[in-house]
Structure formats: structure tokens, C-alpha cells
Structure 1
Amino acid sequence: MSTSTTTTAIVAGPDEDGIGEALENEGVDVARVNGVVSRPQLEEAGIVAADLYVLTDVGQATTIPIVCDLNDDVRSVIYARDSVPEFVKGQLDLAIDPELMDASLVADELVD
């Protein structure tokens, strides 16, 4: 990446497939949010200025509209094995199944 600023990401949910670590290996500044994700948690983690929001638990897909409301420029990604709910597909930039794409490859694509 040839920009002078560091890419920032919020990884929400359990990270069993290592997307957070893969992003860090690409030089991304990663904040993590666990448990039931709320708007105040997202704000505290820095979502307003984040470049990426990576959700690993589709059960918390309701956070996608919140994130998009807080940050018009954020790229929202679901990195999970489960199907993405219909109501969120219009606001989602990318949905990837970890069984189809390794975390390091996804991180590389997200940063480039």
C-alpha cells in the first residue's frame, strides 16, 4: 500500500480464522470488539475513522447498518462461514467464507 497513512480496521466477533492477525501482518492497525457488539463499543473502538469493519459473526449482522451510519467511507466485510442475512447485503461491501479464502489472502486483497 503506497499511502502515507495507516489503514485501520475493527474486527468484531470471534476471530477463529485469524483475519485480525492477517490484517496486522499487512500493517493494518486493528482494534477488536468481542461479545455482543453495540454502537458505543464500536465508537470506542474507533469505527468513526476506521477504513475497514470486519465482522466474523453473522449473528451480529445488525451492526453493519450501524457502522455504515457512523462512517460513510468504511468498507464493511463479513468473514464467516454462515450465510449473510438479506437485510444487510445492500450495505455490505464484501462477504467471504474462510473455507474458500485464507485470511492472509483476504487481508492482502483488503489492503491493496
Structure 2
Amino acid sequence: MNAVIAGEDEDGLGEALEAEGFEVTRIEGFADRVALETAGIEDATVFAITDTVHATGIPVARELNEELRIIVYAADSLPEFAQPLADLIVDPDLLSPEAIAEEL
């Protein structure tokens, strides 16, 4: 299982995913098409956004991998255009990263 993470990940979602057996790739900088392809989004099972500034990467990721589970783990609101494309939107204050990783 592979996961791609965009954002600072201050809450430790990446580490929680690794503890559950995911191979995690982190995107440095903006989550555009080139960064997503370089990170291996085509073969990933999960795309996690920990900062909603990367929301524009959601439709691109979905286009590159229709089977991808898209998780938004951030306190900020997700823009309307991206909401229908996300499989799970969670505020870190509501669920721990370990709970999210365990469910995935």
C-alpha cells in the first residue's frame, strides 16, 4: 500500500500510515501534476492532504488514479470544487491520525 501526502503533516498522519504498513511519499512544495506524478500517484492507494492549500491537486490526482482514496486531514475548510472528490474530510481535532490510518 502506498500513500502520497501533501502538506506539512504536523499531526503525524504520515507516521501513523507508516505504522499501519503504508509506504509514504511526501510531496515537497506544491501538489501539481508533475509533483503528483513524481510521487507515484498513479500507483498510490491513498492521497492525503494535510493543508487545504493543496486542494487543487485533488482533481489532478483523481484524474491520474480513479481508484485513489483521497483524504483531507486538515482543520481548514476544503474549497467547494474539491469537496465532492474527497473520500474523507476530517478535522485533526476530531480524530487522531492513528484512527485514520487504522481505518485505511
TM-score when scaled to structure 1? 0.90
Q: Which runs of 5+ in 1 are unaligned?
A: 1-6
Name the residue aligned to 1:68: 62
> Percent identity among equivalent residues?
46
How far the C-alpha of 1:88 sits from its partner, in A, is: 0.7
Partner of 2:24: helix, strand, or coil?
strand
Name the residue aligned to 1:50: 44
Query: Which one has a bigger Cα radius of gyration?
Result: 1
Name the residue aligned to 1:3: none
Partner of 1:64: helix, strand, or coil?
helix
Distance 2:98 2:84 in 1: 26
Partner of 1:77: helix, strand, or coil?
strand
Could you report, residue by residue, the CA deviation over 1:37-72 in whole angstroms, capped at 9, with x for unpaired residues? Answer: 221111011000100000011111010000000001
Name the residue aligned to 2:2: 8
How far the C-alpha of 1:36 sits from its partner, in A, is: 1.6
1:94 aligns with 2:73: no
Q: Which runs of 5+ in 2 are unaligned?
A: none
The two structures, once aligned, show a CA RMSD in angstroms of 0.7
Which amino acid letter does the alignment assign opposite residue 82 of structure 1?
D
Distance 1:65 1:95 in 2: 15
Distance 1:63 1:11 in 2: 11
